[in-house]
Amino acid sequence: MRIVFFGTPAFAVPSLQALLQDRFTVAGVVTQPDKPQGRSRSDLISPPVKIAAQAAGIPVLQPVRPVGDVFTASLRRLEPDLGIVVAYGHILRPEVLSLPPRGMINVHASLLPRHRGAAPIQQAILAGDSQTGITIMQMEEGLDSGPVLHHVSTPIGADETAGSLAGRLANLGAAALVEALSLYAGGLARPQPQDHSRATYAPKLDRTVARLVWESSAATLVRQIRAFDPAPGAWTNLNAGTLKLFGGKEAPGWGEPGTVLEAAGQLVIAAGSGAVGVSEVQPAGKTRLPVEAWIRGRGITVGQRLA
């Protein structure tokens, strides 16, 4: 069975590597274009999936968008029997979904139908879910609405960040994909339709949703800090600049929301109810650093206000 693999970030690499280790034939990889980086925007950075594919000698396609006659012709030349999508980053049109004779399947980082969409890992933490997991589903035109082939669940740790959870789910997804493919190839998979009435959605993140509103409860703010670590980073205003906060935990204390209650080994800020302690910060234009080092250099004091 010849497979064409669609994926872009580091999250997708374990799935690609698992296919290669289990000796599936990966005929080609489709990933997003290299991205310019640096002040001059002259340095091009390859997606992690491209790097892994090239290391394995697999042909790589990098369309700006996966549409049009040129792209579909390139895809058809790979003669895929099946397509696999893992965090590719583009919605695929019907003419692409129907091109492989055996269709396309997706590795999704939630227990569908919960958290359909682009940011299921962050949304699971924001929602305070106690568990999440991986769903392997058949793809159709709807948003993550296809029949489920396989799913695996895992608990979400009390202090787990989106970054650490994504790392675990990437490996869990790779193992679940190989299991599902074995069933699929042997004709043993029994796709189950989703209960669409139970669907929730996890839209693409932008900077506005990561802003901390200090009138919220400490529990809500801590979930935001965890959910947006490492990116885009939960942030607040301090004086004339912005400040990203990491390593958030609920802390004892109370006061006017946004007021600094402690500025020593940790930074403690009053919330709408309770308080939030953070262990790392990232001032605008600077690198992420421990709170203690930042306080020594910045001189933030008890009583200052974040907004």
Strand ranges, E, within 113-265: 131-138, 148-155, 234-238, 241-246, 249-251, 260-263
Spatial contact of 131 and 156, defined as CB atoms under 8 Å apart: yes
Residue 40 is predicted with a pLDDT of 66
Each residue's pLDDT tens digit, 119-163: 999 999 999 999 999 999 999 999 999 999 999 999 999 999 999
CATH of 207-298, one of 3.40.718.10, 3.40.50.720, 3.10.25.10, 3.30.1600.10: 3.10.25.10
CA-CA distance, 268 to 222, in Å (whole number)?
A: 12
- CATH fourth-level superfamily of 2-198: Formyl transferase, N-terminal domain (3.40.50.170)
Measured CA to CA in angstroms, residue 30 lies from 16, 74, 96, 273, 283 at distances of 12, 10, 12, 48, 36
Please, where are the H alpha helices in the chain? 13-21, 48-55, 69-77, 94-97, 120-126, 162-185, 218-227, 291-298
Q: Which two tokens stand for residue 172?
A: 């869990």
Q: At 189, which helix (H) or strand (E)? A: none
Residue 187 is predicted with a pLDDT of 75
Q: What is the pLDDT along the chain (307 residues), one digit of tens a residue?
A: 999 999 999 999 999 999 999 889 999 999 999 998 877 677 899 999 999 999 999 999 999 999 999 999 999 999 999 999 999 999 999 999 999 999 999 999 999 999 999 999 999 999 999 999 999 999 999 999 999 999 999 999 999 999 999 999 999 999 999 999 988 777 777 899 999 999 999 999 988 999 999 999 999 999 999 999 999 999 999 988 999 999 999 999 999 999 999 998 889 999 999 999 999 999 998 999 999 999 887 778 899 999 9
* 3-class secondary structure, 79: coil
Phi, psi values for residue 79, rounded to 5° = 55, 50
Spatial contact of 9 and 109, defined as CB atoms under 8 Å apart: no
CA-CA distance, 267 to 106, in Å (whole number)?
A: 42
Q: What is the CB neighbour count within 10 angstroms for residue 45?
A: 12
For 63-77, b/e burial (b = at least 16 CB within 10 A) is beebeeeebbeebee
Spatial contact of 282 and 250, defined as CB atoms under 8 Å apart: no
* Domain parsing of the chain, residue ranges: 2-198, 207-298
